[in-house]
């Protein structure tokens, strides 16, 4: 099942644009796959993005849905007649990427499942500072 559903586009498209996007399901599916991959490339070292992208309906993070739609539309706008709405899509794409970079740098912290390594430890590959507490109750910071 795909992370995005067709109704996700209705909040950010007018009726004509929505019809054009829905007319080519294979192009939309390809754009959505590219959007999801781009999102994962920014977030997979810190978050279990596969778990987040497997959620459906109201379980999905609204900001993640918004970002995925705007990135997918940015990929799709180049296929629309006269690249309609390109300036607006460029701006929304840039905002989506800026937010993903903030997530990557811990300036934005969505409530997502954390990435857990194969050995079962909670990892945060992009954060050189880790805080923890030893079994003796002494707090420590690792650089």
State the pTM of this model. Answer: 0.80
Residue 56 lies inside a defined structural domain of this protein: yes
Helices assigned H by DSSP within 1-141? 7-10, 15-23, 25-43, 49-53, 62-77, 86-104
Q: For residue 101, what are the domain limits?
A: 7-115
Report whether pLDDT(96) > 70.
Answer: yes
Q: How confident is the model at residue 2 (pLDDT cuts 50, 70, 90)?
A: confident
pLDDT given at position 116: 76
Inform me whether the pLDDT recorded for 141 exceeds 70: no
Determine, yes or no, domain membership for 84: yes
Domain-embedded: residue 17: yes
Distance between CA atoms of 97 and 5, rounded to whole angstroms? 21
In this structure, is residue 2 part of a structural domain? no
Summarize pLDDT for 39-58 with one digit per residue, the tens. Answer: 999 999 889 999 999 999 99
Backbone angles phi and psi of 136, in degrees to 5: -85, 5
- Domain membership of residue 135 (yes or no) is no
Q: Quote the number of domains for the chain.
A: 1
- 136 lies in some domain: no
| Alpha carbons 116 and 2: distance in angstroms, whole number | 23
Percent pLDDT > 70 in the chain is 79
Q: Is residue 39 part of a domain?
A: yes
Residue 3 has pLDDT above 90, yes or no: yes
């Amino acid at each position: 099942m795909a992370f995005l559903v067709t109704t996700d586009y209705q909040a950010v498209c007018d009726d004509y644009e929505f019809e054009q996007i829905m007319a080519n399901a294979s192009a939309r599916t390809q754009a959505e796959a590219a959007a999801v991959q781009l999102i994962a490339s920014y977030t997979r070292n810190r978050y279990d993005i596969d778990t987040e992208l497997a959620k459906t309906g109201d379980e999905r993070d609204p900001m993640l849905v918004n970002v995925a739609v705007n990135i997918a539309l940015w990929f799709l706008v180049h296929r629309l007649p006269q690249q309609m709405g390109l300036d607006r899509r460029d701006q929304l794409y840039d905002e989506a990427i800026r937010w993903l970079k903030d997530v990557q740098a811990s300036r934005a912290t969505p409530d997502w499942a954390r990435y857990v390594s194969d050995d079962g430890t909670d990892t945060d590959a992009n954060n050189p500072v880790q805080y923890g507490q030893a079994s003796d109750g002494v707090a420590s910071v690792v650089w």
